[in-house]
Each structure stands twice: as C-alpha cells, then as structure tokens.
Amino acid sequence: MKKRILKLFFLFIIFLFVFVTFRRPAGKKYDIKVFKELKISVLIEDFNNNLNKNYWNIIDKGDNYNNELEYYRPENVNVKNGFLEIEAKKEDFNNHQYTSGSINTKDKFEFLYGKIIFKAKPAVGKGLISAIWLLPADDSALPEIDLIEVLGTQNNHTWTGMHYFDSNLIQQSKFITYPCNDGFSVYEMDWKKEEIKVYRDNKLIFETTNNVPDKKMYLIINLSVGGDWPGDPDDSSLPSSFFLDYVIIIPEEIGVK
C-alpha cells in the first residue's frame, strides 16, 4: 500500500512538471499543493498566499557583494496578486541611498542535485541586476551557480553559468549570454552528479559536465542596485520591480527523473 501511495505521488509530481511548465496559460493562477503527510521534502511556492517562512529567509542587511549600493529591507519583499515582487527604490536608509529585497532558503531548504523550475520577469532600469542563484550550504565562497542574471538595461538578454575552483584551486567561470523576451520566462535547471543543464522556455541554453558542484546548496533571489558590473543606477527608472510567479525545487532523492 505504501509503495502504491509513493508511486501515485511521483506520478503527481511528473504531472505537475508537465502542467506547470508546458500548459500554464499566461497570467493564469493555480493553487499548487503537495501531499504534506508523506513528509517528502519538496519546495513548491506559487506565491498565492504570504511568503512561506518554512522555506524562506527575508534578508535585512546592507553589507553586500561587489560594491553594490542597496540595503536589503524586508519591506521591499511582498507577495501581491499571486506574484512575488522585489522592489528597488531610491530612498535613504541606514547610510544607504537605495533599498531593495532579497530572500534565500539557507538552513531551511538545502539540497544536493535535483530540479529547479521558476517563472520570472526581471526588473527594468540602469544599474539593476535581477538574479536567481545558488551558494553552498557550508558557507564556502564557491562553487556558485547563477541560474539567471539580467541587467536592467538589457532585459532581452540573460546570463547563466557558474563560478568554481579548478583542480589547482584557481577561480574559473563558465557563462553564456542569450536572447530572451523582456516579459515572463520559464526556466528549469536539471542538476545531476555528472552534469548541469538549464532550459529557458523549454529550450536548452546552458550545459556543462565540468566541475559540477557536489555539495548541498541553497537558493537566493535578489534584485541588486549598482556595483561593479552594472554601474550606478539611473534614479529616474526607480522604483522598479523583479517579479516571480512560482518556484519549484525537487531534490534528486525524490526519484523524479
């Protein structure tokens, strides 16, 4: 009986993949649920209610990477009308001239290998980067998997790739940039022991079999302002928002192929 229930659950997950990824009409909202009583660790967040604190940490800090200018405030992270909205603003707060938002799953949902599917629309504006990425759960600096990085001035292009240490402990990077639309796109990462593949709107756009991370990682979603790469922001383009429709994470141990 137990095997039959698990089999039905796996069939449900496969159906969910197909339905959400391939059949979901633009703008249509669904209440995605999973059988909690099976106690299988799957993250399914459709942002139809408040942010699920069992999965997410909402960041409150101003000391950030790459000389960025923002202070991450919880007030800049909101769930509205079935979407997660992360908003960047021009405002003075805690010795910063800009604020924005960031969430992550550290210590709450960490996994080694599996699938991530999400639907996102990047923010628009000079000096902004909309990003969804992974860092090691053990707090080491690398490896880092960047599922998407989108400059606010180039919303029709996305960066996807990795930073890692090679066998000589020298930092290396492998990235690709590719065209996309400036609206919502569906992304999927398939992370296995021997390879990583990333798809956008069902099209394979990145793959590697070299230096694939082999440690548990956690997910980060943020909208940064300024810094080394995008440069100073254009205040006239603010406020600007990064939107997500849903996020699904299914660790490989669940057994869904």
Number of independent structural domains in the chain: 1
- Residue 160: give its domain's CATH number: 2.60.120.200
Considering Cα of 49, then 53, then 55, then 59, what sign does the dihedral take?
positive
Whole-angstrom distance, CA of residue 44 vs CA of residue 32: 7
Nearest to 76 by CA among 125, 136, 123, 139: 123
Looking at residue 95, its pLDDT comes to: 96
Looking at residue 156, its pLDDT comes to: 83
Whole-angstrom distance, CA of residue 139 vs CA of residue 135: 8
Extract the tokens encoding 156. Answer: 């029709």
SS3 content of the chain, % helix, strand, coil (to 5): 15, 45, 40
pTM of the model: 0.85
Q: What are phi and psi of 18, to 5 degrees?
A: -65, -45
Looking at residue 90, its pLDDT comes to: 98
Looking at residue 164, its pLDDT comes to: 94
Q: For the chain, which residues score pLDDT lower than 50?
A: 8, 11, 18-19, 21-39, 256-257
**How many alpha carbons lie under 13 Å from residue 175 in its C-beta half-sphere?**
16
Looking at residue 21, its pLDDT comes to: 47
Can you give the residue range of the structural domain that contains 161? 2-254
Looking at residue 205, its pLDDT comes to: 95
Looking at residue 155, its pLDDT comes to: 81
Looking at residue 16, its pLDDT comes to: 58
Nearest to 55 by CA among 215, 243, 188, 219: 219
Looking at residue 23, its pLDDT comes to: 43
